[in-house]
Chain A
Amino acid sequence: MSTESAMLAQQFDDAAQQREASALGMWTFLATEALFFGVLFAGYTVCRVRFPAAFAAGSRHTDMLLGTIETAVLLTSSCAVALALRDVQLGGRRVAAWLLVLTAALGLSFLVMHGFEYYSEYREGLIPGIRYTQQGPLAGPMQLFFCLYYFITGFHSLHVGIGVILLLVMARRTWRARFSAQYYTPLELSALYWHLVDIVWIFVYPLIYLVGRAG
């Protein structure tokens, strides 16, 4: 109980009200995130309908193996954060903190793998505006694919990066027993955020790596 009342801000009447407000705030924020990414997906769809062949060709340049591993890593990390939250809700502390560290580590490895992808694309000359050496009739519209690819994955990676920092802060707080079975709102909200990052990737992966590959 002590953690709970110490964390009650003056504008709230009780802990239940505060928890409800925080959760609603987070969900509203996640709704804005859906619209941030929505613009990019809409732009992707429009361009793809216009230039199906160029988008298929662009898609074939991406690294499907790494992309698939990245997907697996991110999904596993989401599972880890869910377990951590469950552990805290049941009164746990150490396991939860380690699970949070694991989540952050998986997020970090996701970023590293993406870095490798970007680097090899740079060497292949696939980055419009920086190093683009593609030739042939599809080279022009294929730039559109790559612009969107970098923008979408870059923006997503930015979210992953923020999430990693957030999770490390939460791991530290969990370790120091700032949360209890009664009070875990910040942890819960961070987990929600991490799931969003994950869900966005579930859309990115097929759009970028899979669709059009066979065509």
Chain B
Amino acid sequence: MNSIESAVPPPRSYLDDGHSLRSWLFTHDHKRIAILYALAITFFFFLGGFAAMLIRLELITPAGDLLTADAYNKAFTFHGVVMVWFFLIPSIPATLGNFLLPMMIGARDMAFPRLNLFSWYLYMIGGLFTLAMLVLGGVDTGWTFYTPFSTMFSNGHVMLTVVGVFVVGFSSILTGINFIVTTHSMRAPGMTWMRLPLFVWAMYAVALVMVLATPVLAMTLSLIALERIFGVGIFDPALGGDPVLFQHFFWFYSHPAVYIMVLPAMGVVSELITAGARKRIFGYRFMVWAIVGISVVGFLVWGHHMFVAGQSMYASMVFSILSFIIAVPSAIKVFNWTATLYKGRIDFNAPMLYALGFVGLFMLGGMTGIFLAATALDVSLHDTYFVVAHFHYIMVGGSVMAYLGGIHFWWPKVTGRLYSQAWARFAAILMFFGFNLTFFPQYLLGYEGMPRRYHEYLPQFQVLNILSSAGASILAVSYLLPLVYLGWSLRHGPRAGPNPWRAKGLEWLTDSPPPTHNFEVTPVVNEGPYAYEDA
């Protein structure tokens, strides 16, 4: 059936395949959809970042002088909702994953291209609801929507927010279905499971988590909507309903969701480190099983968010132990990245710097996770800035750095252009310092007992808070920089050629930018991933 199209036109890059707005908004090409996503999530990233700036400005002084308590609640809620659902969850999967997954397995497109485009529209619709919520006055429940506050007392725009998150949840379910099916049924000849790049494994695992966890969020949000509309429901303590049940449902989704945010980062970093060290990944099979292990055990630890919410002592013990266990595969990954670097011919280019930043910050975030998983310690650390620092180390230090590292690594493939290495290195290093200056003081603050989610604090916490706010402004600059030099490279950057990093992987075999159907001939795979010379 393919042989019918005998007169092959000269390959045209996917970027030249139509320049009208229509050719973008109705595209079925996974590469273009990836770019649509990238534009949208970048917008939301800076919007969420703006809310973060408000928070940090407020916290420069102990008194609540810039924002009222109410406005402050709305700022951190908006920040959390946008950053979690509209930036971090779609970040790597919907952009790099969409772009690279078919290319890495040697396919022409996703299994369901129309569904792929539809999921982008769902994302945009969810985003519009969230923007409407912002414009109409915001919401003050925190990104966690705890009942009964969210159902009976909050007078913010809970419904709009809930609908927005509900819709965007379907976008991630559809992306997940597409990834699973594509990985199963679209692999090129010879691309066996144990030859898949780790990035593909990460996308596969994250897709499983998306597909199995997100429905739970969707139903839980529907139950909140029911309670708000009719004033009755199963989380309502006035009727004998159970608010802790809400927390169970919410974290049954949201703990796996933290792995939705970090597994893709692990996949990206595995690619960057092997390419930058010019070595095979150390312990490929261990890496694969670590990914699978994390996504399975990730479903069994949600109760560590509820140690002080009144769950039974035995439940807490089990959840605590399981949370310790989940650190094991994470640690295996860190060891293997380090071992891959060992005696490598490391090229400290920008992607590598981002990757190294990820490993260090992820490790600090993961280790403080172990602190928090110890029930006795969590009683005093729960709901303090220690928790805030813990998850920002992983999500911002780790995942965002990996996302940017991936953008820098595949930028030549996506756009066909090279960017300024000097500026990119500078931004990566600045980001590392800015990040630590912002969030390390928060560990200390939390350890000394400063609670999260208040707009004022005791005067003795001021010095550390000022340091943190100063760091945040450095961080902001380092996030804006890539916009400038990457944007500049679009016009003025030198042409990249198919494989500027001399990296392995099918995506580097084709032109930069790739033709619409990725490969002129379907590649045949006869070796494992990362076949760098060292063997």
Contact = CB atoms under 8 A, between A and B. Distances in A.
B477 interface: no
A7 B476 CA distance: 50
Interface in B1-44: 1-2
A172 B294 CA distance: 47
B211 A31 contact: yes
Contacts of A35: 212-213, 215-216, 219
Contacts of A128: 230, 232
Interface in A46-88: 46-47, 50-51
Interface in A1-60: 5, 8-11, 13-14, 17, 20-21, 24-25, 28-29, 31-33, 35-36, 38-40, 42-43, 46-47, 50-51
B177 A29 contact: yes
Interface stretch (B61-69, B84-92, B146-154, B236-244): B236-244
Nearest to B217: A39
B249 interface: yes
B223 A141 contact: no
A10 B28 CA distance: 11
B524 interface: no
B502 interface: no
B186 interface: yes
B234 A148 contact: yes
A17 B108 CA distance: 13
Contacts, number: 108
A32 to B, nearest CB: 5
A144 B227 CA distance: 11
B108 A10 contact: yes
A151 interface: yes
Interface in A87-117: none
Interface stretch (B109-117, B317-325, B430-438): B109-117
A11 B231 contact: no
Contacts of A20: 184-185
25 contacts: A10-B108, A11-B110, A14-B1, A20-B185, A21-B181, A21-B182, A21-B186, A24-B184, A25-B177, A28-B176, A28-B211, A29-B177, A32-B173, A32-B212, A36-B215, A36-B219, A38-B216, A40-B219, A50-B240, A129-B229, A140-B240, A144-B234, A144-B241, A147-B230, A151-B222
Given A43-B234, A147-B234, A24 B220 contact: no
Given A11-B110, A11-B186, A129 B231 contact: yes
Interface in B69-110: 107-110
Contacts of A140: 239-240
Given A28-B180, A128-B230, 19 more contacts: A11-B107, A11-B113, A14-B1, A17-B185, A17-B186, A20-B184, A25-B178, A25-B181, A39-B215, A39-B223, A43-B223, A43-B249, A46-B245, A129-B229, A140-B240, A141-B240, A144-B239, A147-B233, A151-B223
A47 B112 contact: no
B47 interface: no
Contacts of B184: 20-21, 24
B109 A143 contact: no
B422 to A, nearest CB: 40
B110 A147 contact: no
A214 interface: no
Contacts of B176: 28
Given A31-B211, A31-B212, A11 B109 contact: yes
B219 A39 contact: yes
Nearest to A47: B234
Contact of A21 (B1, B185, B212, B239): B185
Contacts of A51: 240
Contacts of B233: 147
Please list the 9 inter-chain residue pairs (A to B) with the smallest Cβ-Cβ separation, ordered nearest first.
A129-B230, A39-B219, A11-B109, A35-B215, A128-B232, A21-B185, A21-B111, A36-B215, A129-B232
B178 to A, nearest CB: 8
Nearest to A19: B185
Contacts of B113: 9, 11
Interface of A: 5, 8-11, 13-14, 17, 20-21, 24-25, 28-29, 31-33, 35-36, 38-40, 42-43, 46-47, 50-51, 128-130, 140-141, 143-144, 147-148, 151
A39 B249 contact: yes
A10 B239 CA distance: 56
Contacts of A11: 107-111, 113, 186
A25 B226 contact: no
B214 interface: yes
Contacts of A13: 2, 522
A27 to B, nearest CB: 9
Contacts of A21: 111-112, 181-182, 184-186
Contacts of A144: 234, 239-241
Interface in B480-535: 517, 522
B2 A28 contact: no
B218 interface: yes
Interface in B410-458: none
Contacts of A50: 240, 242
A99 to B, nearest CB: 28
A43 B214 contact: no
Contact of A143 (B214, B226, B232): B232
A51 B234 CA distance: 12
Nearest to A36: B215
Nearest to B241: A144
A47 B185 contact: no
B307 to A, nearest CB: 20
A25 B109 CA distance: 15
A47 B1 contact: no
